[in-house]
Structure 1
Amino acid sequence: MKKLKSILLVFCFVLFTFSFSNLTFAEINITPQAIPPEYYPGSSVVIKPGDVLVTNNTSSYGVTGHAGIVIDAYGTVASIRGSGYHPRTWGIGDWFAEYPNLVRIDVLPNHS
C-alpha cells in the first residue's frame, strides 16, 4: 500500500509538471515586470553594479577616505571597515549613514 501511494504521488507530480511545461507567460496571463532602477539617495543618479563610492571620512586612526563597490542593481555595497575587519555587504542607505561624506561616484564606462 505504501509503495502504491509513492508511485501515485510520483505519477501526479510528473503529470502536473509536464502539463504546464509547454505554456508561455501569455497563456497563463503573467506579464514579466521590469525592476525599476534604484537611485543614490538624494540624487537622480542610477545605481549600477561596479560603481565605486569614495568618501573623505576620517577614521579615529587619522586615515582619510573610505571606499566601497556596488555589487548589484539594488545598491548593495561591499566594503571593509578597516584593519582587522572582514568584508561586509550593506544596503546603500546604511552605507551612506555610516559614511555620509561622499566625495565621488566612479562609474566604469559601459558596465551593467
Structure 2
Amino acid sequence: MSALERLATTIAARKRADPESSWTAKLLAKGAEKCAEKFGEEAIEAIIEAVKGDRAKLTAEAADVIYHLLVMLAARDVTLADVLAELERREGQSGIAEKASRG
C-alpha cells in the first residue's frame, strides 16, 4: 500500500472519529463545502510557491493540497480508488480527445 493509499484509508476512518480528537474529523464534520474551501486555499498556496520557485515550500504545499483533496473527496464519498479508476480510463487518451468527450 502506498503512502497515498494509507492516507486515504486514514481519512476514511476519521469520518467516524470524534471531531475533538482529530483535525481530519473536525474538517469533515464542517461539511463538504468547508472541505472544498480548505482545498482551494491550499491550492492557492501551492500556486504561490510554484510561482516563487521555492522547491521545498512547493513540495510541502503540494502535500497539503493532496491531503485536502482527499478530505474533500471523502466528504462527498468519492474514494481514491474512484479517482484512480478514472485516471486509468483516461490512460493512453490524448488530453484534447478526453476534454472533447466531456462535451
Q: Which has the higher strand share?
A: 1
TM normalised by structure 1 equals 0.23
TM normalised by structure 2 equals 0.24
Q: Which has the higher helix share?
A: 2
Q: Who wins on radius of gyration, i.e. which is larger?
A: 1
